[in-house]
Amino acid sequence: MAATMNLFGSVIPNLNTTFLVDTSGSMYSCLVAVREHLSSYLRVHAVDVANPQQTLLFNLIEFNSDIRRWADRCVFWSHASVLVADDWLHSLVPKTGTNTLGGLLTAFADSLCQQVVLITDGIPDQEPNVILHFLQQKQQEKRPCHIFYINTPLNTAHEQETVVKFLQDLAALTGGSLTIAYFSRTGTLEGLAPMINYQIENAVKQVVLVDGSLNTGIRGPPMETGVSSEVGALLARQECLARKDKDGYYYRGKILNQLNINQFMVEFGPRTTGAF
């Protein structure tokens, strides 16, 4: 049986994360599903024993016309804290207003926060350019904002065009990503369409060769490059993040050995999985 996709399955749990949830009135048809997907994601990646080298923190913020935080700042991502956060998540209901700027500024104001996951479905109350300007002034160092745009049949073409343009600019400004999440009229997640990931793009450094920089021709046959088959031995017992085929989530694990040049055997520890 195929595993059910999770809205946040593409978010790698390797940074302290603040989840910023739009609870404006237009979210009424899919807010329950968003809550369940987020609750499941938090449970899957929770741990009970803090590792000094891999201690992860998280927080939850909702925004409508007002801003409400679950905790004053990011807290340890444990099963106990997720259980408390789950009660808070289930208290979220649609309200009026979309104070996107206030939500983003509140999230980034926490110095412990290393990345923001924004879930939204509509045009913000503020002008998009004003939001981008404020964030550019406030962000002393770039922290990624990974955005999930909730697209339902109720969204008009004009709304989609306006919102997607703004969210693309926001992802570019913060070095984050944008994914469009398609929901049905009844609030069921039907598909995910990754639009852009600036973290991946920025990781690839471009090298420009100026005309005339090479004043001699290439002599002799080209040299073949390759990776030694023994390199995999150096990675044995090293910790890594690997993705499981059965649910699409990333998990912490240890490399046991190299199967071939492109495949490794990874050992995962026991973990409780959620419904999604």
User: 70-119: per-residue pLDDT in tens?
Assistant: 999 999 999 999 999 999 999 999 999 999 999 999 999 999 999 999 99
Structurally, how many domains does the chain consist of?
2
Domain check: are 235 and 115 in the same one? Answer: no
Looking at residue 252, its pLDDT comes to 74
pLDDT for position 243: 72
Examine the domain organization and report whether 238 and 143 are in the same domain. Answer: no
Supply the pLDDT for residue 156: 84
Please tell me the predicted confidence (pLDDT) of residue 253: 78
pLDDT score, position 205: 46
85 within 8 A of 43, measured Cβ to Cβ: no
On the CB side of 250, CA atoms within 13 Å amount to 12
Based on the domain organization, do 126 and 257 belong to the same domain? no
Q: Supply the range of the domain harboring residue 39.
A: 17-203
3-state helix, strand, coil in the chain (%, to 5): 30, 25, 45
Q: How confident is the model at residue 212 (pLDDT cuts 50, 70, 90)?
A: very low
Q: What is the predicted pLDDT for the residue at 140? A: 62
Pairwise CA distance, residues 228 & 58, whole Å? 40
Task: Tell me how crowded residue 232 is: count the other CB atoms within 10 A of its CB.
Answer: 17
Read off the pLDDT of each residue in 154-177 and give the average, rounded to a whole number.
91
Range list of H helices, 175-228: 198-203
Q: Pick the residue with more confidence: 16 or 274?
A: 16
Residue 186 in any domain: the answer is yes
Strand duo 239-243 + 250-260: pairing: antiparallel
Q: What's the rounded mean pLDDT across residues 183-212?
A: 72
